[in-house]
Structure 1
Amino acid sequence: MATITFENISKAYGTNQVLQNLSLVVEDGECFTLLGPSGCGKTVLLRLLAGFEVPDSGRILIDDTVVADPAKHIDIQPDQRGLGVVFQDYAVWPHMTVFENIAYPLKFKKLDRETVRSQVMNVVDLVNLTGLEQRLPSQLSGGQQQRVALARALVAKPTLMLLDEPLNNLDANLREEMRFEIKELQKKLGITIMYVTHDQEIALAISDRLAIMNVDGAIQQIGTPWEIYEKSANETVFKFMGLANFIPIRYEQGQHLVGNGSQLLEWQTLPQASGKFGCRPSDIILAKQGNGLRGKIVRASFLGAIMDYMIEIDGITLRTEVSTNKALQNNLMFAESEDCVVNFSDLLWFPESANSARG
């Protein structure tokens, strides 16, 4: 296992400043995900850690070993950093068998043939490729090729695994299957994993902690999947972590009004300020009558297991989903243009210029 420390890392390409004074610690034995939009610098940070590129300034440590420090001209080569890397495009050799692909990193360790075979077959079994070791990559599915790439990264027994969007080229079912397999591998081996992705579902499923990066390469929030999803630090994080609804609130003459209308919020704990509430589709409670905000269904879509509704409240549109069974059982089947009543199970308050807090 390994602890990773980034200290004030900066990296630019010409006039394009990708990372600036970024600091981050990944704890020993955790699965840590860098999550952010394309071009935010997350892959650059991974490449700096791998040793494929050198930071302009700052230090990178693996455990207590400084592996990169341009001020002191330290740049330990990638093959001496004790890590395995899996790329998005698998990068398996098409002319080599599964066994030969996996064994490739061991060629440089001067091991005897039996030791090589033993280590290769151990990881073949670990990634569920038993019986396929003599096949060529062209005879494998995408998921099997990805397992070959994982096995090749694991065979040299690294203390640290770097995964750069490794599931992007798989279909939805295989992505779901492989993300759970990666998490199980990490648990079995107890190694540190640093994972790069822009896919929120994968990040939430496999991470012990994750860091959200914005388009400028700055870290917006670090936390557990639950903390990031339920306690988003700001609107950027909240928007990025899934379907987000926002409800603008006007504070006028001591009253809170919704959107551009005249409906009042008379909740006791509201701050005396304007701002907006954020909520997920699952936070919205629909009804046909009773107390709550008055709205109108502007779109009703039957999607099999769920009913997807678009609601309009005083010029604001919100998305919510109700399971079809629940909708049928609880008189929640709405038609377009039908009136509705809206309440909320949970809301996240975003002041106009302050940190967020639960409302």
Structure 2
Amino acid sequence: MATITFENISKKFGNNEVLKNLSLVVEDGECFTLLGPSGCGKTVLLRLLAGFDVPDSGRILIDDHVVTDPDKHIDIQPDQRDLGVVFQDYAVWPHMTVFDNIAYPLKLKKIDKDTMNEQVMEIVDLVNLTGLEQRLPSQLSGGQQQRVALARALIAKPSLMLLDEPLNNLDANLREEMRFEIKELQKKLGITILYVTHDQEIALAISDRLAIMDKEGNIRQIGTPWEIYEKSANEMVFKFMGLANFLPIRYEQDHHLVGHGQQQLIWDNLPAESGKVGCRPSDIILSKTGQGLQGKVVRASFLGAVMDYMVEVDGVTLRTEVSTNTALQNDLMFKDDEPCIVNFHELLWFPDNAETVRS
């Protein structure tokens, strides 16, 4: 296992400053994900850790060992950093069998044949490839090829694994299957994983903690999946992590008024100022009677397991979903243009002209 420390990392490519004074600590034994839009610098950070590129300034440490420090001309070679790397495109040798692909790093180390066979078969079993050892990559599915790449990275028993969008080329069902397998592998082996992706669902599913990066390469929040999704620290994170509803609030004469109308939002601990509240579709409670904000269902869509509703409240549209069974059992099957009552499970407050958030 290994602790990763980035200290004030900066990196430019030409005039494009991708990373600027970025600092981050990944704890020993955790699965940590760098999540952000394409081009935000997350893969650059992984490549700097792997030793494929060198930062312009700053230090990188694995445990207490400095592996990169341009000021002191320290740049430990990738094969000396005790890490495994898995890329998006598998990068398995097409002319080698599964066994030979996995065994390749051990052959380079000149491990004796009996020890090599034992270690390879142990990893083959670990990644669920038993019985496929003599097949060529062309005879495997995409998920099986990705398991070969994982096994080859694990065979040298690294203390640290770097995964760069490894599931992007798989179909939806395989992605779901493999993300759980990666998490199980991490639990079994207890190694530190740094995972890079722009896929929010994968990041939430596998991470112990994650860092959200913006387009400028800044880290906007670090936290557990629940903290990131339910307690977003700012508007950028809230928008990036999934479908987000925003309801503008005007503060007039000691009242918080919704949208363009005169309905008052009653909610504990709202500040005495204008701003907006944010919520997820799952935070909205629809009903046909009772107290709450008066709205109208402007679009009702049957999606099988769920009813998807677009609701208008004083000129502002909100999206919500209700399971079809719940809707049928609780008289929540709305039609287009039908009036409704809107309440909320949870709201986050976003001040005007600021990125700070309050719950």
TM-score, normalized by the shorter chain, greater than 0.5 = yes
- CA distance, structure 1, for counterparts of residue 105 and residue 56 of structure 2: 29
User: Match of 2:63, as an amino acid?
Assistant: D
Deviates more, 1:322-331 or 1:348-357: 348-357
Aligned counterparts of 2:3 and 2:267: Cα–Cα separation in 1: 46
1:231-274 alpha-carbon deviations (Å, 9 max, x no partner)? 10000000011111011101112211111111112334221011
Residue pairs, 1:56-71, within 5 angstroms: 56-71=56-71
| TM-superposed deviation, 1:351 | 1.2
Q: Could you list the per-position Cα deviations for residues 274-327 of structure 1 after superposition, in whole angstroms to 9, with x for gaps in the alignment? A: 111110000000001111011111111100000000011111111000000000
Shift of the alpha carbon at 1:107? 1.9
Give the match for residue 274 of structure 1: 274
Q: What secondary structure sits across from 1:44 in the alignment?
A: helix
How far has the Cα of 1:115 moved from its partner?
1.0
Say whether 1:344 aligns with 2:337.
Answer: no
The AA in structure 1 aligned to 2:298 is: V
SS in 2 for 1:79: helix
* Structure 1 segment 212-231 matched on structure 2, within 5 A: 212-231=212-231
Amino acid of the structure 2 residue aligned with 1:138:
S
Mapped to 1, the partners of 2:159 and 2:173 lie a distance apart of: 29
How much does 1:71 deviate? Answer: 0.4
Matched ranges for 1:251-290 at <5 A: 251-290=251-290
**TM score, norm. by length of structure 2:** 0.99
Matched residue, 1:8? 8
Partner of 2:205: 205
Pairwise CA distance, 1:354: 5.9
Q: Which amino acid aligns with 1:144?
A: Q
CA change 1:268–1:233 in 2 (3 A) is closer
Q: So what's the TM-score if we normalise by structure 1? A: 0.99
AA aligned to 2:338 is E
Q: CA deviation at 1:43?
A: 0.3
Query: What does residue 250 of structure 2 align with?
Result: 250
d(CA) in 2 for partners of 1:307 and 1:89? 38
Structure 1 counterpart SS, 2:6:
strand
Q: Which sits farther off after the overlay, 33-42 or 263-272?
A: 263-272
Structure 1: stretches of 5+ with no match in the other structure: none
Partner of 1:143: 143
CA distance in 2, matches of 1:242, 1:165: 19
In structure 2, what residue type is equivalent to 1:211?
Answer: A
Give the letter aligned to residue 50 of structure 1: A
Distance 2:292 2:152 in 1: 57
Aligned counterparts of 2:255 and 2:295: Cα–Cα separation in 1? 20
Match for residue 25 of structure 1?
A: 25
- Between the aligned partners of 1:237 and 1:193, the Cα distance in structure 2 is 22
Q: Distance in 2 between matches of 1:294 and 1:301?
A: 20
Q: How does 1:90-101 map to 2 (within 5 A)?
A: 90-101=90-101
- Residue type of the partner of 1:221? Q
Partner of 1:356: 357
Deviation, 1:19, is 0.2
Q: Secondary structure of the equivalent of 2:248?
A: strand
Q: Are the counterparts in 1 of residues 235 and 355 from structure 2 also a CA contact under 8 Å? A: no
Deviation at 1:106, TM superposition (A): 1.2
**Whole-Å separation in 2 of the counterparts to 1:89 and 1:158:** 21
Aligned residue in 2 for 1:307: 307
Q: Which amino acid aligns with 1:95?
A: H
Q: Distance in 2 between matches of 1:121 and 1:52?
A: 30
Instruction: List structure 1 runs of 4+ shifted beyond 6 angstroms.
Output: none
SS of equivalent to 1:174:
helix
Aligned length: 358
Give the unaligned 5+ runs of structure 2: none
Indicate the SS of the match to 1:265. Answer: coil
- Secondary structure of the 1:309 match is strand
- The answer to whether structure 1 residue 111 and structure 2 residue 100 are counterparts is no
**Following the alignment from structure 1 to structure 2, what is the Cα–Cα distance between the partners of residues 66 and 345?**
47
Q: Deviations over 1:108-158 (max 9, x none)?
A: 212111111111111000000000000000000010001000000000000
Task: Work out the CA distance in 1 between the residues paired with 2:220 and 2:308.
Answer: 31
Give runs of aligned pairs for residues 30-179 of structure 1, distance below 5 A.
30-179=30-179
Offset from partner CA, 1:17-66 (integer Å, 9 cap, x none): 00000000000000000000000000000000000000000000000110
- Deviating more after overlay: 226-235 vs 349-358: 349-358
Check the 8 A contact 2:234/2:355 in 1, yes or no: no
